[in-house]
């Protein structure tokens, strides 16, 4: 008889998932529960999006500065199908995934075929997302600069529309838990090791038989599909999308921010980053909100600068070196961050 072995990271994901699953039940009688649920939904959504980015940016070391491209592509695909053809977002999700997979493959193929690296890859991805803003702005069928609105048709789970926040909460929780499972698998899989090998030294990885172009494209496709699914949820939850909102620099930066600050190329980096930062940013928004709309971005910008200057390995890297220095006394054998130069 085979015993089912559950590894430690998987167990942690399960426990955290269960803890988050009972939060809405605990908050049930609180009058301000919608506000708290909204913040946790944001935490889970960005934990999900950022972890999806971490596969490409952290594990494969290809820092896309324009992952909002896939967020927007997913959001626009499902919303367009919903608004124009009354196709439920649950089916729209399939189309959005397929479209983002194609987009991710084409972009990955072109970029990696021509050997774009580091800063140049970042510039191309940011330019693609920016080009998408102007493309969608000029397409009348997609609402142009005004964007698209998701019609409210009442509490219809079959149309991914819920009264209150709890329905959305469980959808995004499932997404977040799923991506964390994916990362625990990736972290110890052949594919994951290939990505890290390519990140650390592409020539050496090639010499060991890793098809670097194939694994990088695959990482881009996976990241694109996951981000696109996030986009479908984004549109359903916020019920309104416009080009700057989903393709702009704001979402692009937020998607990568949490992984970078939490820990690049780690299972928990994105989740930890969004868990720590989003509540602070939301409190800042609530305090300054009316007077100052830019509070969260000002906070994210400052924290990004501070982290890059003083702790370039993120929170997890800091914890890790602290642990090694004072508790286990072992020498640091590997760096979390890729070395490019």
Partner 1 sequence: MDITFSLPLLLQSVVSGVFLGGVFALIATGLTLIWGVMKIINFAHGEFLMVGLYLVYFLVTKLGINPYLTIPINFIFLFLIGALIFRVNIQPVLKDPVMNQILLTVGLMLVLQNLALLFFSATPLTYDNIYNRITYSIGPIVFPLANVLAFIGSLIVILLLGLFLNRTDTGRAIRAASQNSEAATLMGIDVSRTYLIAFGIGSGCVGIAASLMITFYYVSPTVGGFLGLIAFIIVVLGGMGNIAGALIGGLIIGLGETVGAALLPGSFSRLLTFLIFIFVLLFRPEGILRRGE
Considering the rule CB under 8 A, would residue 134 count as an interface residue with partner 1?
yes
Site size for partner 1 (CB under 8 A): 45
Compare residues 329 and 341 and give the one whose CB is closer to partner 1: 341
Compare residues 110 and 286 and give the one whose CB is closer to partner 1: 110
Considering the rule CB under 8 A, would residue 293 count as an interface residue with partner 1?
yes
Considering the rule CB under 8 A, would residue 106 count as an interface residue with partner 1?
no
The CB-of-237 to partner 1 minimum distance in angstroms stands at: 24
Candidate ranges 22-30, 38-46, 109-117, 270-278; the one touching partner 1 (CB under 8 A)? 109-117
Compare residues 176 and 255 and give the one whose CB is closer to partner 1: 255
Considering the rule CB under 8 A, would residue 111 count as an interface residue with partner 1?
yes
Non-local (6+) Cβ contacts of 241 within 8 A are 72, 75, 76, 79, 147, 148, 150, 234, 235
Q: Could you say which residues in the range 304-333 bind partner 1, by CB under 8 A? A: 304-305, 308-309, 312
Candidate ranges 34-42, 44-52, 68-76, 128-136; the one touching partner 1 (CB under 8 A)? 128-136
Taking each helix axis from N to C end, the angle separating 89-113 and 212-238, rounded to the nearest 10 degrees, works out to 150
Candidate ranges 112-120, 232-240, 266-274, 275-283; the one touching partner 1 (CB under 8 A)? 112-120
The CB-of-260 to partner 1 minimum distance in angstroms stands at: 6
CB 50 within 8 A of CB 273: yes
Out of 46, 70, 300, 315, the residue judged to bind partner 1 by CB under 8 A: 300
Considering the rule CB under 8 A, would residue 91 count as an interface residue with partner 1?
no
The residues binding partner 1 (CB under 8 A) are 63, 65, 110-111, 114, 116, 118-120, 122-124, 126-128, 130-131, 134-135, 137-138, 249, 253, 256, 260, 292-295, 297-298, 300-305, 308-309, 312, 337-341
């Amino acid at each position: 008889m085979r015993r089912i072995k559950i590894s430690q990271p998987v167990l942690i994901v399960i426990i955290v998932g269960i803890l988050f699953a009972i939060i809405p039940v605990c908050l049930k009688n609180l009058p301000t529960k919608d506000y708290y649920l909204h913040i946790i939904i944001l935490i889970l959504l960005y934990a999900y999006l950022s972890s999806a980015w971490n596969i490409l940016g952290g594990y494969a070391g290809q820092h896309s500065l324009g992952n909002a491209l896939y967020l927007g592509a997913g959001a626009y695909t499902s919303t367009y199908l919903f608004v124009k053809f009354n196709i439920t977002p649950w089916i729209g999700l399939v189309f959005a995934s397929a479209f983002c997979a194609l987009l991710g493959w084409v972009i990955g193929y072109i970029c990696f075929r021509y050997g774009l690296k580091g800063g140049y890859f970042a510039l191309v991805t940011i330019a693609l997302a920016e080009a998408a803003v102007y493309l969608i702005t000029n397409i009348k069928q997609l609402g142009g600069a005004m964007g698209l609105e998701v019609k409210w048709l009442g509490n219809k789970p079959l149309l991914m529309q819920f009264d209150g926040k709890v329905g959305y909460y469980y959808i995004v929780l499932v997404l977040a838990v799923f991506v964390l499972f994916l990362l625990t698998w990736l972290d110890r899989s052949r594919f994951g090791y290939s990505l890290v090998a390519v990140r650390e030294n592409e020539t050496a990885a090639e010499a060991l038989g890793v098809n670097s172009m194939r694994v990088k494209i695959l990482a881009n496709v996976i990241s694109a599909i996951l981000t696109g699914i996030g986009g479908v949820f984004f549109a359903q939850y916020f019920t309104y999308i416009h080009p700057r909102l989903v393709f702009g620099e704001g979402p692009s930066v937020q998607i990568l921010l949490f992984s970078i600050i939490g820990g690049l190329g780690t299972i928990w980096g994105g989740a930890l980053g969004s868990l720590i930062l989003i509540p602070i940013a939301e409190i800042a928004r609530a305090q300054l909100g009316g007077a100052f709309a830019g509070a969260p971005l000002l906070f994210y910008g400052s924290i990004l600068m501070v982290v890059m200057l003083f702790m370039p390995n993120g929170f997890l890297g800091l914890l890790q070196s602290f642990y090694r220095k004072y508790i286990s006394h072992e020498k640091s054998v590997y760096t979390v961050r890729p070395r490019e130069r």
